[in-house]
Structure 1
């Protein structure tokens, strides 16, 4: 199958590797002149790590990732641990940097045969029952069986795909009133002994719950750096979604009453990025009416980052798509895309809702308790339930112990034949 991917970010390169490895003819169109691996840390949750390990990437990822065993909740003012939730012991919960992951994926995708074109600016996309076409600004037409638009939260393809539904602005990102200020730093600037600080005593995702603001941190023993995201609720004069001119003095003042680890890190930081939390509204569909132009990743379901599952959800989506292409040789592309949406869309939208809830929870805006420790031994006897309360073990089990490809396999078992898709 001939596949064109718009965008060479995390989602685009992951799809390029997976689909080229499966034998498809893959071309990636990236508007930037080079790779642009900006941003801080990323998390790969257990459900996504199942997919990556099924692709044979475990050893490669262990070279650039730290493995964590749990998510830790602390009180921002004191640093006291209030809750630790242990994830699946079978499948890794990995943390790494965006830069390291993009470099790895670029190498793997090109080795698998994907062609990556830089400075390829897309002017428009179109499709019909037979094919999809990407027209570049230089007038060149790139024809494919399917186009995967991994062009991010501000996707222009999204407007084209949904041009028959409502107004174009209806599907633009919803911007929250919470602003993130982010930076990372070498641990050597903080301490000579990482075990002596709460910030660096383990490699878990750590959420520091406050009042009107919170902090997300993750220590990388692999790179000897710690990444910090300081979230402040309230209006801001920032116009765009992201810039490099965060007011570090403002962040210091806001978090002045925090525990000593935070105060020390903020005292050392010189600059920070600033970006608004935003999400794409639930879309009526992730594909064009003809079914050959498909929204992928943040273009389809950008979410608040406070469940650490944005990239993980993208990996699951790609794993299911690869599986369906291989499992339905007699089906048309629109039929396969329809099944893919039926499997992946409900999960992405539920996780997006959880991420939004978690933004409020970490800012002290919910009544959910965080004082009871959870262990995986407790989860083993729990029945997963995607519709359970977000603070429940049932929801957590569904969240972390999910097998996206197996869910697709079950869906096909219920449908039995392509004619019933």
Structure 2
């Protein structure tokens, strides 16, 4: 099958690898002249590492990732651990950097046979009764059996895909009043200060809960650096969703009463990126009306980053799509496969997105309940996962991080016997 992927970011390159590995003819169209990954650290939660394991990438991915066996919630002002949630030990919870992951994926996608074409700006996407196609700047037209739009939260393709459903403005990103300020510091610069040891004592996700703001940190042994995200609620002078000109002095002032670990890290920083937290509203569908153009990742379900599941849900989506396409019989059409894919993946992503939004408020001190038991370790072993449970419960937490997308897809196909073509 011929597949065109729009965008060579994390989602596009992951899809390129997975689909090329399955034997499809894959071409990635990237408008920039080269790979240009922006942003800091990313997480690959157990729900996504199950998919990674099915692709056989676990050992090589370990070379650029650090494992996190648990997640800690701390008090921002004291550094005291309030809650620790222990994840599934059988499936990795990895942390790495966006730059390292993009480099990794581009290599493995190319090795699998995917072709990346730079300087290829897509100006039009169409899908009629017989074929799907893209038009590039200059007028060149390319057709495919399936077009995957992985062009981000401000996706131009989204407008085309949903053009039959009214004004395109209703599908634009919803911007929150929270801004992230991100930077990293060398672990060696922190090691000599006994007041900053909490930042390097483990490689887990550490979330420091405050009032009106919070911090997320992660130490990487692989890169000998600590990544820090400082979140502040309130308006800024920022015009776009992301820029390179965060006001580090503003961050220092806002967090001046935080624990010594934060103060030390902020002293070491001389600049920071900043980006507004935003999400895409729940879409009526993730595909074109004819069903051969699909929205992937942030183009379909961009969410607040505070479940650390943004990239992981993308991996889940790709894993399920790959599974369904591999299971497709000669009688099943691509639109039929796409409809099943949405039925499986869309409710999951939208529930996680709702939790991410809730957690933004929780971490800023605007909800009543903490996750799990507020004074003890919360071990997930023996907990029954429940996606409809309270967000503060361990039942929901387990469903959030240990969901098995491929197993759920197989269950869906088994339950819906009418889908016999797949």
TM-score by length of 2: 0.97
Aligned to 2:152: 152
Aligned to 1:380: 381
| Higher mean C-alpha displacement, 235-244 vs 366-375 | 366-375
Superposition deviation, residue 164 in structure 1:
1.0
Aligned to 1:13: 13
Task: Say which SS state the counterpart of residue 305 (structure 1) adopts.
Answer: coil
* Residues 67 and 293 of structure 1, relative CA distance in 2, 3 Å threshold: same
Superposition deviation, residue 165 in structure 1:
1.0
Superposition deviation, residue 43 in structure 1:
0.2
| Aligned positions of 1:32-43 closer than 5 A | 32-43=32-43
Superposition deviation, residue 418 in structure 1:
3.4
Superposition deviation, residue 369 in structure 1:
3.1
Aligned to 2:310: 310
Mapped to 2, the partners of 1:362 and 1:112 lie a distance apart of 41
Conserved 8 A contact 1:26-1:113: yes
1:93-130 per-position Cα deviation (integer Å, ceiling 9, x unaligned): 00000011000100000010001000000010001232
Mapped to 2, the partners of 1:67 and 1:357 lie a distance apart of 26
Aligned to 1:174: 174
Aligned to 2:356: 355
Superposition deviation, residue 383 in structure 1:
1.9
Aligned to 1:55: 55
| Aligned positions of 1:334-353 closer than 5 A | 334-353=335-354
Aligned to 1:227: 227
Conserved 8 A contact 2:29-2:121: yes
Coordinate RMSD, CA, aligned: 1.4
1:326-348 per-position Cα deviation (integer Å, ceiling 9, x unaligned): 11223100000000000000000
Superposition deviation, residue 192 in structure 1:
4.2
1:306-333 per-position Cα deviation (integer Å, ceiling 9, x unaligned): 1110000000000000000011223100
Aligned to 1:369: 370
* Residues 223 and 334 of structure 1, relative CA distance in 2, 3 Å threshold: same
| Higher mean C-alpha displacement, 255-264 vs 394-403 | 394-403
Conserved 8 A contact 1:171-1:280: yes
| Higher mean C-alpha displacement, 122-131 vs 336-345 | 122-131
Conserved 8 A contact 2:196-2:264: no
Task: Say which SS state the counterpart of residue 23 (structure 2) adopts.
Answer: coil
| Aligned positions of 1:129-144 closer than 5 A | 129-144=129-144
Task: Say which SS state the counterpart of residue 163 (structure 2) adopts.
Answer: coil
What residue ranges of structure 1 are gaps of 5+ in the alignment? none
* Residues 246 and 290 of structure 1, relative CA distance in 2, 3 Å threshold: same
Task: Say which SS state the counterpart of residue 411 (structure 1) adopts.
Answer: helix
What residue ranges of structure 2 are gaps of 5+ in the alignment? none
| Aligned positions of 1:196-215 closer than 5 A | 197-215=197-215
| Higher mean C-alpha displacement, 243-252 vs 324-333 | 324-333
Task: Say which SS state the counterpart of residue 418 (structure 1) adopts.
Answer: coil
Aligned to 2:292: 292
Conserved 8 A contact 1:123-1:136: yes
Mapped to 2, the partners of 1:346 and 1:374 lie a distance apart of 30
* Residues 24 and 193 of structure 1, relative CA distance in 2, 3 Å threshold: farther
TM-score by length of 1: 0.97
Superposition deviation, residue 372 in structure 1:
3.5
Aligned to 1:402: 403
Aligned to 1:104: 104
How many residues in Structure 1 have an aligned counterpart in Structure 2?
419
Conserved 8 A contact 2:12-2:28: yes
| Higher mean C-alpha displacement, 249-258 vs 160-169 | 160-169
Dislocated runs of 4+, deviation >4 Å: 192-196
